[in-house]
Amino acid sequence: MRIASREVNEWIDGFLFVANKPILDLLNTKPVLENGPTELLPDVRALERWLIASGMVASRTAKDTVRGWRQAPEAATFLGQLIAFRERLREAVVRMENGSSPTDAFLAEVTSLLLQYPRRTSLHKRDGKVIQETLFEPRQPADLWAPIIDATADLLAGAQSSRIRKCESCVLHFFDTSKKGSRRWCSMNICGNKLKVAAYQRRKRGDHATTK
């Protein structure tokens, strides 16, 4: 089923955010739109917008730094690497959705990136309490691996795999945070309502046929 909805809370700056985890939203940057499969990260400017919309780049300094890389060859190189990684991550997620686990090779890749680009934290006081906060001030495009690979590790090791799912009607993935764990669609607005309408119409046709 093609995605045509443009709900305010689901689309931010041209990107879908329905997965409850930013790293799964990264997978969803290649949805099926009106014209078919669509790459939402075609260039560095789009990547910049997605990083900010997703919250992976949050501070004013980091945003300004990333915006300064629009013409940088290193940023284009990073984007190419990220797109390739996204598809390997997709394979790992599909394996988890099918009840398996990521391959050893993919786990080794994630571990290597974690060691190269660790997340840094700081401690300070706020209202008399000690607060731990994540520090992220990238100095080069490759530093953008830090939040992405940290989120990947959290998904692989910290998320309940049975709640990682693919929408029953489209290509999008999501993490089910519902109380009953019964979420079936990427979004009620995008796919849920359409499936319910279709099911109603089938029942209606069936009832009509039995009354003849």
| CB-count burial class (<10 Å; 0-12, 13-18, 19+) for 34 | exposed
What is the pLDDT at residue 87? 96
Contacts of 138-142 spanning 24+ positions with Cβ under 8 A: 138/57, 138/62, 138/65, 138/66, 139/65, 140/74, 141/69, 141/72, 141/74, 141/75, 141/77, 141/78, 142/74, 142/78, 142/117
Dump pLDDT digits (tens) for 97-116: 999 999 999 999 999 999 99
In a domain, 1, yes or no: no
In a domain, 97, yes or no: yes
Q: Is the pTM of this model over 0.75?
A: yes
What is the token pair recorded at 14?
């041209």
In a domain, 6, yes or no: no
Could you tell me the pLDDT band of residue 212, with boundaries at 50, 70 and 90? low
Measured between alpha carbons, how far is 3 from 10 in angstroms, rounded to an integer? 12
In a domain, 41, yes or no: yes
Sign of CA dihedral 55, 35, 79, 102: positive
Dump pLDDT digits (tens) for 165-177: 999 888 999 999 9
In a domain, 5, yes or no: no
Q: How many domains does the chain have?
A: 1
What is the pLDDT at residue 6? 42
Give the structural domain span for 20: 11-210
Dump pLDDT digits (tens) for 178-209: 999 989 888 877 785 554 444 434 554 555 45
In a domain, 3, yes or no: no
In a domain, 24, yes or no: yes
CATH of the domain at 147: 1.10.3300.10
In a domain, 194, yes or no: yes
